[in-house]
Structures are given as C-alpha cells and as structure tokens.
Amino acid sequence: MQQDLHLRTGTADDYDTLGELVFDAIRHGPTKYTKAQSLAWAPAPKSGLEWARRLDKQHIIVAQRGDEIIGFMTIEAGGYIDFAYIRPSAQGSGLFRRLFAAVSEWAEARKAPGLSTHASLMAQPAFAAMGFEVDYHETVDVDGQSLPRARMTKSL
C-alpha cells in the first residue's frame, strides 16, 4: 500500500482538492463527533479566496498515491500545525507519522522553540503519539454546535 506513496510540497493547484479532502475526512471518516457537529464543521468542501489565503501562509506537505491526494499536513513558520487530514481509506496506515516527520523537518519550523496545534478529538491520539502534550481543552462554537478540541504542544 505504501509503495507508490509520494510526499511532496503542496501548491495552489492543490487547494480545492485539499478542501475536498477535509470534507471527506470529517464527513465520511470515523468520528467522535455527532452528525450535527460534523455537519457544522464541514458543511461543504472548502474552496475560494478565504481558503486560498489561509493556505498561502503555510507550508503544505501532500501525500499522493497515483493521481489521488490521500492526506496533507500544514505548518506555519512559527511551528503551528493548522491542518492534518487523511482520507478515510488511508487512515491507520502510518501516513500521519510520515506527514508529521516531513512538516517537522521544514527549515522554518525547526527555528521555532516548539510545535503547537488545536487538535480535534480524532487527532489528539495521533499528536500524542508524536510527543505532543495537552495544554488545555476547549470548546469552539461553529454554526450553533459546540466542538471540543485540545490545544497541544511539543517542545523541540
């Protein structure tokens, strides 16, 4: 399964596909959120100018198998991991670990004293396996739904 897997830097040409991947992971993957929470979190695939502006500020690592993008992770220069999504069909394959290794090697991220993220209920175990610790738990309101998550950090 991993033989034809290729990691590469994401580009603006990937943005719409990444938005669709986020939607696929949230709406069709295993979840600890209710259906209403998932619908609020991902009512439609992300796209457009706001999505592009957000991704333009980040270093993106894309995992591709053949012509299909099956996962991605983003990191900002200060060490903040904003997005970490894997298609349901590729979850549990070790892809999260490979994406994390690639983003944490980015030169700008290595200048930061540590890494941080706001991890969903589903992502918390994966980040914990990479050495992240929970700083605090919080709830964010999205479209009338309360979504629990955790602020997690890792010292470098």
Average confidence (pLDDT) over 105-114: 86
Average confidence (pLDDT) over 36-43: 96
Q: Does the structure show a pLDDT above 90 at 1?
A: no
Q: Does the structure show a pLDDT above 70 at 27?
A: yes
Any residues with CB less than 8 A from the CB of 71 and at least 6 apart, and which?
21, 62, 63, 85, 86, 87, 90, 95, 96, 99
Write down the CATH number for the domain with range 5-113: 3.40.630.30
**Residue located via tokens 């050495």:** 131
CA dihedral 88, 92, 93, 96 (to 10 degrees): 90
Question: How do 133-142 and 68-75 pair as beta strands?
Answer: unpaired
Confidence of residue 62 (pLDDT cuts 50, 70, 90): very high
Q: Which two tokens stand for residue 26?
A: 């949230």
User: Any idea where the domains of the chain sit in the sequence?
Assistant: 5-113
Residue 3 is predicted with a pLDDT of: 58
pTM to 2 decimal places:
0.94
